[in-house]
Amino acid sequence: MAPPPPVAAPAPSSAPAPAQRVAPGSPEWNALTTEQRHEQLRGPENPRARGHSPAREQREAAAARASGPQPQTAPPAAAEPAAATSTDEPLFAVGKFEVRESQLASMLERQAIDDQRKATLPASPADYKLELPADFKAPGGVEFKIDEAGNQATFDALRTFAHSKGWDNQMLSEVLGIYASHQSAQEARLAEISRAEIAKVGANGPQRVDAVSRWITGLVGAADAKPIRATLVTDAHLRFYEKLMSQQASQGAASFSSQHRVAPDQNKIPGYDNMSFEQRRHAQDQAAARRR
């Protein structure tokens, strides 16, 4: 019987074995698959990284016995490394990283933009300008102005916050625009409510408001009257102050009424109990003379 023909040995693969260490960027590195490159970067597995857990090992052993013997399957064939095309950019090793030329150019461009932005930032919180955006329009036709003097502490804190977060003046202006829109909307709403309440009091509403305002000013002075007059926003407020005006004008006096009053006893002699006998007789004679 003739011996079987010899089997040709498989051709050696151009890619090195995964266990062999390969320098990144070398021709052998380019021949590796993605999985093999990851394995090269990860290095050997640390057996102690999994930890020791008897309970877990018992569960895994019980699950393996319950599932029965597993069929032996052939390991998947390693994927052939894709041939690099002429359009692929080569990878350059930078320390422990690998980058392409386009990626490096993009990172340098972003860094240059960020450096330029930082160079144009205000040097200190005091250098920030409290300005509204150029295209800002307050809702409701309300004219809004930033009252820096009346809110100095608040705006100083805002400047400090903007400087700590690396904002430029344009970003601060956009935030101020949001704040101004909110405040203007509230003022427009209050003005609308005030107009509706004034219309509710009738045609002579402005005259009544003016009379109450002058009365308040004369009572407490112009400085204290200003915040009090600001409360005249509803018909109920106006009627309340008009009632106070009426009470002050009358000084609390009321018209006389004899209702529920007991008429005096005409037959009773005042102070009779404290009189002597002669005084009582004299008072009785006078009362009898008046009745005749």
Task: Band the pLDDT of 77: cuts 50, 70, 90.
Answer: low
For the record, the structure tokens of 86 come out as 């002429």
CA contacts within 13 A on the Cβ side of 177: 12
Contact 208, 243 (CB under 8 A): no
Task: Band the pLDDT of 213: cuts 50, 70, 90.
Answer: very high
For the record, the structure tokens of 52 come out as 């020791």
Dihedral of alpha carbons 94, 96, 101, 103, sign: negative
Helix-helix angle 205-220:169-200, to 10 degrees: 110
For the record, the structure tokens of 83 come out as 């041939």
Top-confidence residue, 237 or 19: 237
pLDDT tens for each residue of 27-37: 887 888 887 87
| Ordered DSSP codes for 232-285 | --SHHHHHHHHHHHHHHHHTT------TTPPPP-TTPPTTGGG--HHHHHHHHH
Residue type, 196: A
Contact 206, 197 (CB under 8 A): no
List of residues 6+ apart from 215 with CB closer than 8 A: 241, 245
List of residues 6+ apart from 162 with CB closer than 8 A: 125, 128, 171, 172, 175
CB count within 10 Å of CB 128 equals 22
For the record, the structure tokens of 99 come out as 């980058």
CA distance 171 to 23: 47
Contact 39, 22 (CB under 8 A): no
Helix-helix angle 205-220:222-229, to 10 degrees: 140
List of residues 6+ apart from 147 with CB closer than 8 A: none
pLDDT tens for each residue of 82-119: 444 335 788 888 888 888 888 888 888 888 877 777 77
Q: Over 60: is that where the pLDDT of 226 sits?
A: yes
pLDDT value of position 174: 92
Residue type, 177: G
For the record, the structure tokens of 90 come out as 């080569």
CA distance 245 to 241: 6
Instruction: Select, from the ranges 122-126, 141-145, 198-202, 262-266, the one with the highest average predicted confidence (pLDDT).
Output: 122-126
Segment 229-247 shows an average pLDDT of 87
Q: How many helices (H) and strands (E) does the chain have?
A: 10, 2
Q: Give pTM, 2 decimals.
A: 0.40
Helix-helix angle 152-164:169-200, to 10 degrees: 150
Closest CA to 125 of 163, 90, 157, 93: 163
Burial zone of 225 (CB within 10 Å; 0-12 exposed, 13-18 middle, 19+ buried): middle
Contact 192, 141 (CB under 8 A): no
Closest CA to 32 of 78, 63, 92, 73: 78
